[in-house]
Amino acid sequence: MEREIDNYINYLVDVKKSSQNTVQSYRRDLVKMMDYMNENGVNEVKDVNTTLLRSYVLYMEDQKKSSATVSRSIASIRSFFIYLLERGLVTGNPTEGLKPPKVEKKAPETLTIEEVNLLLDQPSGDTPKEIRDKAMLELLYATGLRVSELISLKVSDVNLSLNYIECHDRTKSRIIPIENAAKHALNKYITDIRPNMCADSEYLFTNVKGEMMSRQGFWKVLKSYAKKAGIDKDITPHMIRHSFATHMVINGADLASLQEMLGHSDISTTQIYLKVKPSKLKEVYDKAHPRA
């Protein structure tokens, strides 16, 4: 079974071009499933059946795994067996009878508008690093970008004359307006700091060595300013994304426009942020963003 899992992981990397986080998650889920099967005397993928998988699901629930974790594991296992079935390595799909537990969607944890303003005010100096950090934080809250999207932005993705950035994920691109505070911080960084910090890089933001910033590197930046601001929350880049979305809705944004800005493929993902009201994207942004 280990060989088939390794081949599947290579398929995700080489063919599906899955992200590193996705690949690691699938590998972790499948190895745990394999360990359970081995402990129960099953070593070959062809011997895994629906009864055994149901037993594994019950085992995870007995281990107090969350509904989200169990559902993700089932999705990983199902995808694995579909891969095996398509290649003739198994004669049937034992995951067809598996039903994931219902996952209750909880309201995401956010910062208040006051906490966001306090956080964004922390990099207030004129050092190159603080000017860069100010631009990154302002842009993150102005757009609701994922941290991976923020650090992957290129200089060519920024259009300050028309007040927008272009964000690219693996399958599509989207245009996101930026408000005045973010535009000012970006302009100062691009004009005064970036030429000396990372002029040879295609990426908009880099570390002090001029190399592409890592997720962990930005996380440390965010944590340091949250501590400096005295914000007593386990702040994460995704919390800023949730705060952006929540504050937009509070101030009148409709979910259809918010879905487009956040890059959600399904509006049901965006519905956690309240009701839909019809409006145009740019008009919504100008009226709704707290710092516009």
Looking only at the bridges linking them, the beta strands covering 164-168 and 158-159 are antiparallel
CB 98 within 8 A of CB 26: no
For residues 113 and 191, give the distance between their C-alpha atoms in angstroms, rounded to a whole number: 29
The pLDDT confidence band at residue 12, using thresholds 50, 70 and 90, is very high
Look at residue 158 and give its three-state secondary structure.
Answer: strand
Strand partners, 168: 173
Sheet of 173-177, strand order: 158-159, 164-168, 173-177
Distance between first and last Cα of the chain: 55
Residue 281 pLDDT more than 60? Answer: no
For residues 192 and 248, give the distance between their C-alpha atoms in angstroms, rounded to a whole number: 31
Task: Please tell me whether the overall predicted TM-score, pTM, comes out greater than 0.75 for this model.
Answer: no
- Measuring CA to CA, how many Å separate 202 from each of 90, 139, 187, 211? 46, 18, 17, 10
Reference 147, options 52, 216, 247, 208; nearest CA is 216
pLDDT in tens, 209-231: 889 999 999 999 999 999 999 99
* Residue-range domains of the chain with CATH: 2-86 (1.10.150), 113-288 (1.10.443.10)
CB 32 within 8 A of CB 5: no
pLDDT in tens, 135-158: 999 999 999 999 999 999 999 999
For residues 200 and 217, give the distance between their C-alpha atoms in angstroms, rounded to a whole number: 20
Alpha-carbon Rg for the chain in angstroms? 22
For residues 233 and 243, give the distance between their C-alpha atoms in angstroms, rounded to a whole number: 13
CA atoms within 13 A on the CB side of 7: 11
pLDDT in tens, 23-67: 999 999 999 999 999 999 999 999 999 999 999 999 998 998 888
Question: Max alpha carbon distance in the chain (Å)?
Answer: 65
For residues 143 and 164, give the distance between their C-alpha atoms in angstroms, rounded to a whole number: 9
